[in-house]
Chain A
């Protein structure tokens, strides 16, 4: 594996310009002052209750995501490239989804194998031929990006269902501004706090035609035991909209209403943080109590907008991911600005045999997995684990893809033995309304806290950092 690119101290240890002030500040600041701030930040996170739940972990039902006080910094130039690439990618994702559920031009052009769509469990036949307001499917996308050197950002994953983490982006910034006002004074950091406004106006812009001039937007959560519940309540609060559960909603004559102390009130747009499977027991899982009976028929009647639309899982499927460069070219006629990670599709015999021969150097992922579960990190795995994976791969090759282990960039991070480089990724949040695609400058930087580790997922012990885009 190549030596990782360090975002502060570039190749050869040259301080990169965006980090000049931070480096100076770090030299002036005694280490125990940093440690003190770190503890203060943790206290704030706990008191505010910024937690996430870990399933199957009864000991720690609510956990704090570790927060690192050293910001990650990017120049305006780096960001503007990323921004262009992200907007391009999300535009293509939306066109792809519209096509898959309507004309299917891309299949007829033989660019993607049919069975990858039709035999995919996240494909929703219910959405065939159904139009969604303004043809927007992915209103909120969380695109996971890694950096491998000074010039290259690579997309690791497109989260097109119910991406989470934006509350951390916003809270990290709030807490940093509280703890390090003079560090901010020495930089010009582009603000992120307009995200809730942008989100609300994007959601309003996609209201169905039958909505009133002032559409009612609500955020739907599976409830207080969901792992991202904090985020749901945080966003509802910032947007000034009701946080509803399935039991608060009722469908009458194909319209959706919420139960209020003053009677029923119509809802026009639902930012749902509930998975497709649980939305409507009449259409999807009948055993689910989280959803709203009849919601899908109101959806079909065009009386409610769901954000994200039903069936977007097909666009963030890891098997489809490997086709994203073709997808961008096909719909936009442009070269993709952001690269993909080279990906071997285990369903293809040639790729499979390469993967089987090189397991100890590859990362193997379940096509439908998420959150860092069920993956093999070849270079870090024991022989026994590798062999177990070999069996799985042979049994069900179409369930996996493989990628090379990337040398993810590192950023200086507070550790028990002082500042040290740790691997990071980035999840910017891309919003699509009826007219524009927008991104607030920044995103959620996740950091692997263990030395050498590439796993940044919070469910696997990763932490977060504030992400600064310098305004020049």
Chain B
């Protein structure tokens, strides 16, 4: 297929995944900030929402203070934030239009309908929490429909694999980012553990990646920081864990390699990252520093993005 088509499909999937992640971040933050101050202390959750979205620096070029209104507007609707939900959906739609021939009609319909709804219903943003909640649901449903229609209707060929690469690369980046921002609450410092503050912070991490219920099924325990880290980093059964994202990345890259009869740097690099995840233990990670581990992972992950681009997309 055309390199440009592959590139568009790859970014299309990234944009949709990113929009959903931002929506989840806002949703989780709303829940925490709705708690009485005694449960969450004095931390500014909106600040940390900006950090997990990776847009803190650019936010403060525009706004003075991270209030709920400012942050929601910036994350969800701002035209000046390239990763705002609105911009993600618009970019996804523009990409879809450029590669319509590579999309199934169900996928196009999902994106185009979402784009129309975005203009017609959400053009002016939201004016109440109820509306915001409805907007966030709309974004998450769009992503679910898009993912579902891709899964159910696309031929299993390179078009599908490239879009899956985009999705898993973006997902891995998102999960890593939230861990990185919240790693301090995962540190097992005796005094705080189990306090209400940590408890709600942990819940919000799990909600951001829709893994709260999963946690209970996997561990059958109360929330414990090292188990949360284990779930999100090493547990292959959780679709948003780093391990699971890399199993998928390796598989999709192998499928492309087989179809084209050629392997390359992307396949090797992805396999390397996956092997490291496979052979890591939570104890060692804590020992060496969660923050350092995650930082390294984020760098490796974006390196994979660069290699894929060089090998296939330009």
User: Out of B2, B94, B313, which one reaches A224, CB within 8 Å?
Assistant: B94
Tell me, in angstroms, the Cα distance from A34 to B98 when the chains sit together. 35
Tell me, in angstroms, the Cα distance from A258 to B313 when the chains sit together. 13
Report yes or no: B260 in contact with A237, Cβ–Cβ below 8 A.
Answer: no
Known: A229-B97, A261-B312, A262-B260. A46 touches B116 (CB 8 A): yes
Report yes or no: B4 in contact with A47, Cβ–Cβ below 8 A.
Answer: no
Known: A49-B112, A236-B101, A248-B2. A261 touches B94 (CB 8 A): no
**Which residue of B3, B108, B314 has the most chain A CB atoms within 10 A of its CB atom?**
B3
A117-125, A239-247, A460-468: which one contacts chain B? A239-247
With both beta carbons as reference points, the residue of chain A lying nearest to B98 in the complex is identified as A224
Tell me, in angstroms, the Cα distance from A243 to B98 when the chains sit together. 9
**Which residue of B4, B116, B260, B313 has the most chain A CB atoms within 10 A of its CB atom?**
B4
With both beta carbons as reference points, the residue of chain B lying nearest to A243 in the complex is identified as B101
Report yes or no: B112 in contact with A247, Cβ–Cβ below 8 A.
Answer: no
How would residues 260 to 286 of chain A score, 1 for a CB under 8 Å from any chain B CB and 0 otherwise?
111000000000000000000000000
Interface assignment of B113: CB less than 8 Å from any CB of chain A? yes
Known: A258-B2, A261-B313. A47 touches B100 (CB 8 A): no
Report yes or no: B3 in contact with A260, Cβ–Cβ below 8 A.
Answer: yes
Tell me, in angstroms, the Cα distance from A234 to B105 when the chains sit together. 11
The smallest beta-carbon distance between B110 and chain A, in angstroms, is 10
Main secondary structure of the interface of A (DSSP, over half): mixed
**Which residue of A49, A258, A259 has the most chain B CB atoms within 10 A of its CB atom?**
A49
Interface assignment of A233: CB less than 8 Å from any CB of chain B? yes
The smallest beta-carbon distance between B260 and chain A, in angstroms, is 5
Known: A46-B116, A49-B112, A233-B101. A260 touches B2 (CB 8 A): yes
Which residues of B are found within 8 Å of A46, using beta-carbon distances? 116
Main secondary structure of the interface of B (DSSP, over half): helix
With both beta carbons as reference points, the residue of chain A lying nearest to B260 in the complex is identified as A262
Which residues of A are found within 8 Å of B3, using beta-carbon distances? 248, 259-261
With both beta carbons as reference points, the residue of chain A lying nearest to B96 in the complex is identified as A49
Tell me, in angstroms, the Cα distance from A123 to B112 when the chains sit together. 41
Report yes or no: B108 in contact with A259, Cβ–Cβ below 8 A.
Answer: no
User: Out of A233, A236, A260, which one reaches B1, CB within 8 Å?
Assistant: A260
Report yes or no: A47 in contact with B260, Cβ–Cβ below 8 A.
Answer: no
Interface assignment of B236: CB less than 8 Å from any CB of chain A? no
With both beta carbons as reference points, the residue of chain B lying nearest to A62 in the complex is identified as B97
Known: A233-B97, A236-B101. A245 touches B108 (CB 8 A): no
Which residues of B are found within 8 Å of A261, using beta-carbon distances? 1-3, 6, 158, 162, 256, 260, 312-313
User: Out of B98, B112, B256, which one reaches A47, CB within 8 Å?
Assistant: B112
The smallest beta-carbon distance between B308 and chain A, in angstroms, is 10
Tell me, in angstroms, the Cα distance from A258 to B101 when the chains sit together. 16
Which residues of B are found within 8 Å of A47, using beta-carbon distances? 109, 112-113, 116
With both beta carbons as reference points, the residue of chain B lying nearest to A223 in the complex is identified as B98
Tell me, in angstroms, the Cα distance from A48 to B116 when the chains sit together. 11
The smallest beta-carbon distance between B243 and chain A, in angstroms, is 27
The smallest beta-carbon distance between B51 and chain A, in angstroms, is 34
**Which residue of B94, B101, B116 has the most chain A CB atoms within 10 A of its CB atom?**
B101
> What are 19 pairs between A and B in contact, CB < 8 Å?
A46-B116, A47-B113, A48-B105, A48-B108, A48-B109, A49-B108, A224-B94, A229-B97, A233-B100, A234-B100, A248-B2, A258-B2, A259-B2, A259-B4, A260-B1, A260-B2, A261-B2, A261-B313, A262-B260
6 nearest A-B pairs in the assembled complex, by CB-CB distance: A233-B100, A237-B101, A261-B312, A259-B3, A261-B6, A224-B98
Q: Which residues of B contact A (CB under 8 A)?
A: 1-6, 94, 97-98, 100-101, 105, 108-109, 112-113, 116, 158, 162, 256, 260, 312-314
Q: Which residues of A contact B (CB under 8 A)?
A: 46-49, 223-224, 229, 233-234, 236-237, 242-245, 247-248, 258-262
